[in-house]
Amino acid sequence: MTKARDLANGGFGLVLVKPSTVVNGTDNGKGTVSFSAVSTVSLNGVFSSTYSYYRILLDVPTVSSSGDFRMRLRAAGADNTASNYVWSTRGFQSNGSVFDASSSGANTFWFIGGSSTNGISTISMDLFNPQATKKTAFNSLNTWQDGATASISLPIQGIATVTTSYDAVTIFHSAGNITGTISVYGYNN
C-alpha cells in the first residue's frame, strides 16, 4: 500500500513498519512500540518482501541492572535460539579506554549493546535481508552511559550464519528489566 508521504518524496526513504503483534509492549497505532519494566520485547510481522533492508531504533532511558542488550531473529512467532549468531565490536569510552568484544564462535543471540543501571542506552541498527533466504547481517551503533559521567560508543557488526527467512525480532536484556521504545523502518528503495 502506497502512502501519501511515500509519493511526496518519490517513494524513497524510511517507512515506519507497524508490527502485526507485539509481545511485552504497546504499539502506538503507527508502529512505535513502548515497553516498561520488561526483560524482553518482541515485534512480530515487521519483515516482509516489501523491503530488503531495515533500520531499527532502540531508545532505553531506564535499565534496572547493568548488562547487555541482545537480539534474536524470529520466524512464525518463535525465536531462533540456535547457535548461528556471530558478532564483533571495538568501541571507545569517553575516558579514552578501548572496549573490545566478540563472539567466540556462534552464539544463540547477537550482542547489540551495553547498559549501566539507571543510564541511557541507544541503538541504531541497519539490518540486511532478514526476510530473504540469505544470511542476515547487521551494522549498528550503540551509545550508552557508564556511570555518572562516562559514555561508551560501540560500532557492532554481525551475521546470522544460516539462510533462514525471518519476519520478526526479539530484543532482550541479560539482567533485569528495561523501559523504552523501539521502532522498525523499511528502506523504501
Pair 185, 50: CB distance under 8 Å: no
Alpha-carbon distance 9 to 137, whole Å? 28
C-alpha count within 13 angstroms, C-beta hemisphere, residue 129: 13
Residue pLDDT, tens place only, 69-110? 999 999 999 999 999 999 998 888 777 777 777 777 789 999
Query: Poorest-confidence range of 18-27, 98-107, 162-171, 176-185?
Result: 98-107
Cross-strand pairs, 125: 56, 140
Pair 152, 146: CB distance under 8 Å: yes
Q: Residue 59: pLDDT above 50?
A: yes
Query: Poorest-confidence range of 4-18, 128-142, 163-177?
Result: 4-18
For the chain, list the domains and their CATH numbers: 14-188 (2.60.120)
Alpha-carbon distance 142 to 152, whole Å? 8
Pair 123, 139: CB distance under 8 Å: no
- Report the pLDDT value the prediction gives residue 49, as an integer from 0 to 100: 95
- Report the pLDDT value the prediction gives residue 1, as an integer from 0 to 100: 43
